[in-house]
Chains A and B, each alone.
Chain A
Amino acid sequence: MMRLPKFTYRVPKIVSDAVSMIGDAGADAMFVAGGTDLYPNMKRRQQTPKTVVSVTRLRELHEIRGDASTGMSIGSSVSLTEICEHSVINRDYPFVADAARLISTPILRNMGTIGGNLLLDTRCNYYDQNYEWRKGINFCMKKDGDICWVAPSSPKCWAVQSSDLVPLMVAIGAKVKLVSASGERMLEARDLYNNDGIQYLNKRPDELLTEIHLPPRNGLRAVYKKLRRRGSFDFPVLGVAAAIDVAPDGTVREAKLILGGVSPAPIEVSEAQQALIGSPLDVERISEAAEACYLKARPLDNTDYVMGWRKQMARPFVQRALEELRRQL
């Protein structure tokens, strides 16, 4: 059986203790919240921190504040189940609750947190395997090896961004707060991600994600569509987040189209956004945007389903997302 490796476990009660513990423990330390991403990775020896600092007992990380007019602040240790069930989120940001309901399973949503989902490790068929399996292929560059098995001539790792909330948070312009012993900073969600399967976060290991800020709602409408094999459990192998702001005369003022599950980072498709801005959200514009997303989606053969089909599915998924937004107008 796969057991966790030995590690030192710390459970601080306040944020300042948490960040100083992680600072003191050095490079081999990691934060953990729900554990649903880290512990499987530790069992498979993909991640092997010597010290694990739990953020589940940090009371302020469980707070949810604000509403549509002020914007909302969600603590990073709020569980995904709480996001799904929270009355203000469901009323004012229903697309956030809807996307959260698509994440894995009800039991895992009881454990997993919004912060953990935003920082989810990138995934790949050659990486998410146990130690013996990975040893059998002489490892890959993301852990213990030096080659990318899905693109052997590639100098970089192509493990896939696999969170359902990431594309949506980028699309709606959410911000995240990062706290460390040396201070704190706010970052646009889009700037948190880096298109490299190994260095996939622009966050230092000693920085703790404490809050997610949703912008005031104003005219914002958003939707998230997910492709996966089963109606539960599975990570997205394509995720489409669309956000628009429409003027009273029906003209699209702002548009964001973000693809998840096709690259190490969420991909913003500016060609699709340009196709939508300045026109009403009609059938022609929607298919133009869908075509632009199809061209931009370049999945590799390292998740479930064949990559050509995943690319093809970008078109109907973008279409469905935008048609749903059009029905809301």
Chain B
Amino acid sequence: MTRTKSQKALIRFTLNGEPSEVAFAPHKTLLEVLREDLGLTGTKHGCELGECGTCTVLIDGQPILSCLFLGLDAEDREVTTIEGMAEGGKLHPLQDTFADLGAAQCGYCTPGFLLVAKELLEKNPSPSRNEIQEALAGNLCRCTGYIKIYEAVELAAARMRGEEVEPPRESIYGFEV
């Protein structure tokens, strides 16, 4: 890494598949660098202390909390943020199912959930409900009660396995009385 008297550090890294470089105050966290120096505000700023999971990004494919990760440590690494999840204007299947099933309500936790779920499905294309719960145990959601999030991950997993599935009617409309 290069450090100059102007108190900015310059790093090179891969951001959402593209070679990038950015200069920033060296004590900044990756969260601050992404939001303030790169203008990528999809990564959300939550508790700042590692207690909520909304600032999750992928480093070399693995979920980490960008609020507790120095920007300097991103040097030479591959960083994936929520902005890099859609490809060529086409939403990732998880983004589709989160929208279809109402798994995003206020939406503040959604970028973190999507990135963690993306890594889960890459490692395990057919996770059980328990495995999904465990994988998402580091992300808090205060709106959904999590059920819709689990259902959205299950539906996306099925679609990614190539199965022709529609969401259960009651997942969208609730139970008829």
Total count of chain B residues near the partner, CB < 8 A:
28
| Shortest CB distance A97–B (Å) | 14
Known: A2-B48, A110-B63. A104 touches B138 (CB 8 A): yes
On whether the beta carbons of A110 and B49 are closer than 8 Å, the reply is no
| Shortest CB distance B58–A (Å) | 10
Known: A9-B27, A111-B69. A232 touches B49 (CB 8 A): no
Q: Counting CB contacts under 8 A, is B107 at the interface?
A: no
Complex-state Cα separation, A5 to B139, whole angstroms:
26
Complex-state Cα separation, A2 to B46, whole angstroms:
11
On whether the beta carbons of B50 and A36 are closer than 8 Å, the reply is yes
Known: A4-B27, A36-B68. A43 touches B49 (CB 8 A): yes
Proximity bits, A219-234, B CB within 8 Å = 1, else 0: 0000000000001110
User: Which one, A3, A43, A105, contacts B53 given CB within 8 A?
Assistant: A105
On whether the beta carbons of A39 and B29 are closer than 8 Å, the reply is yes
Residues of A within 8 A of B62 (CB): 110
Known: A2-B48, A40-B50, A233-B51. A106 touches B135 (CB 8 A): yes
On whether the beta carbons of A107 and B27 are closer than 8 Å, the reply is no
Q: Counting CB contacts under 8 A, is B92 at the interface?
A: no
CB-CB contacts below 8 Å: A45-65 with B: 54, 56
Q: Chain A interface: which size bin? A: 20 to 34
Q: Counting CB contacts under 8 A, is A7 at the interface?
A: yes
On whether the beta carbons of B73 and A54 are closer than 8 Å, the reply is yes
Q: Counting CB contacts under 8 A, is A329 at the interface?
A: no
Chain A contact residues: over half helix, strand or loop, or mixed? loop
Complex-state Cα separation, A110 to B139, whole angstroms:
14
Known: A39-B29, A106-B137, A232-B137. A56 touches B73 (CB 8 A): yes
On whether the beta carbons of B27 and A7 are closer than 8 Å, the reply is yes
On whether the beta carbons of B26 and A107 are closer than 8 Å, the reply is no
Q: Counting CB contacts under 8 A, is A185 at the interface?
A: no
User: Which one, A2, A54, A106, contacts B138 given CB within 8 A?
Assistant: A106
On whether the beta carbons of A40 and B32 are closer than 8 Å, the reply is no
Complex-state Cα separation, A168 to B44, whole angstroms:
36
| Shortest CB distance B138–A (Å) | 3
Complex-state Cα separation, A9 to B116, whole angstroms:
29
Residues of B within 8 A of A107 (CB): 53, 56, 63-65, 116, 138-139
Residues of A within 8 A of B53 (CB): 105, 107
By beta carbon, the residue of chain B nearest A43 is B48
Among B28, B32, B50, B138, find the residue whose CB has the most chain A CB atoms closer than 10 A.
B50
Residues of B within 8 A of A36 (CB): 50, 65, 68
User: Which one, B45, B48, B73, B138, contacts A105 given CB within 8 A?
Assistant: B138
Binding site for A on B (CB under 8 A): 25-29, 32, 45, 48-51, 53, 56, 62-65, 68-70, 72-73, 116, 134-135, 137-139
| Given A6-B27, A36-B65, A108-B65, 9 further pairs, Cβ under 8 A | A6-B25, A56-B73, A104-B138, A106-B134, A106-B137, A107-B56, A108-B50, A110-B64, A233-B51
List 11 A-B residue pairs with CB atoms under 8 Å apart, sorted by A's residue number. Answer: A4-B28, A4-B29, A6-B25, A35-B68, A39-B50, A40-B48, A104-B138, A107-B53, A108-B50, A232-B137, A233-B51
